[in-house]
Structures are given as C-alpha cells and as structure tokens.
C-alpha cells in the first residue's frame, strides 16, 4: 500500500476519533504490518485486524478497504479508551482479547498473547514518539 496514502488515512481517522496517529500506526504495524489484505487465524481482517462482528458494529462493509478498516478500527479504539478511562494498556488488551476478558481479569489478562501484544504495540508507539 502506498505509504503516503496510508499516512493520510491514518491521520484523518485518528484525529476524528481523538487518537494520536502514532497509536494507530503502532496498532497497524503490530496487527497487519501494513498489509490491507491480512487475515488472522481467528478471522480478523485488514490493516487494523477487525473481527467481522466488530467491523459490522462500526459500519465497516469491506474490512479490506483501508479507509473503512482504519475508520472502524479508530472508532473501536476510541470506544475502548473511553471505556477504560484513557488507560491505553487496558484499551490495547481489550482490542486484542475483548473487553469482556479484560473486565473479568480486572486488568490486562494473563494470556501470553495479550501481554505480548500490549508490549509490542507499546514498544512500537514508544519508538515513534522518540
């Protein structure tokens, strides 16, 4: 995907959702490595790896369309940050494992995958803000 086009999509959607473009870029980097056609073993799709139910909730018709995917992913992350009162680590854990799992764990769940995900996105975010 053209990096200038992706930067524009990320910047526009991040700002309209009250997110930093750096956070959105870190999520995209960890989720799909910037591949809009990425599909996970669990069925998550596109740049921000939206599950079909999440995509539908946020009005994403084509999860492989970069604009739709980033728009839906940003709005979902905005919701999670509000739900967890701005706590980025909890929002990232919920983005990975689901809000119900984070709520039940009263924090970042002990799943190795989720802990590694939060650490990888946090590291990617930290490296872009230096």
CB 89: neighbour CB atoms within 10 A? 16
Residue 37 has a pLDDT of 98
For residue 31, indicate whether it is catalytic: yes
Q: Which CATH architecture has domain 3-128?
A: Orthogonal Bundle (1.10)
Which residue in 79, 43, 67, 72 sits closest to 57, CA to CA?
A: 72
Question: What kind and span of H or E run contains 28?
Answer: helix 21-32
Alpha carbon distances (Å) from 6 to 2, 23, 66, 85: 6, 14, 8, 28
The pLDDT tens digits of the residues spanning 39-60 come to 999 999 999 999 999 999 999 9
The list of the chain residues with pLDDT below 70 reads 128-130
Helix ranges, the chain (H) = 3-16, 21-32, 52-57, 66-83, 88-97, 99-105, 112-128
| 23, 89 contact by CB (below 8 A) | no
- Given 31, 67, 68, 113, which residue is catalytic? 31
Residue 129 has a pLDDT of 59
Structural domain boundaries of the chain? 3-128
């Amino acid at each position: 995907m053209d990096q200038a086009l992706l930067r524009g999509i990320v910047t526009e959607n991040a700002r309209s959702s009250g997110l930093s473009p750096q956070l959105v870029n870190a999520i995209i980097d960890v989720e799909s490595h910037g591949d809009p056609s990425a599909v996970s073993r669990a069925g998550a799709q596109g740049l921000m790896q939206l599950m079909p139910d999440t995509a539908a909730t946020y009005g994403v018709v084509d999860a492989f369309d970069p604009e739709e995917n980033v728009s839906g992913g940003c709005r979902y992350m905005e919701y999670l940050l509000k739900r967890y009162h701005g706590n980025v680590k909890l929002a990232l854990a919920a983005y990975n494992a689901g809000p119900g799992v984070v709520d039940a764990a009263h924090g970042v769940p002990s799943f190795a995958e989720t802990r590694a995900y939060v650490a990888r996105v946090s590291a990617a975010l930290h490296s872009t803000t230096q």
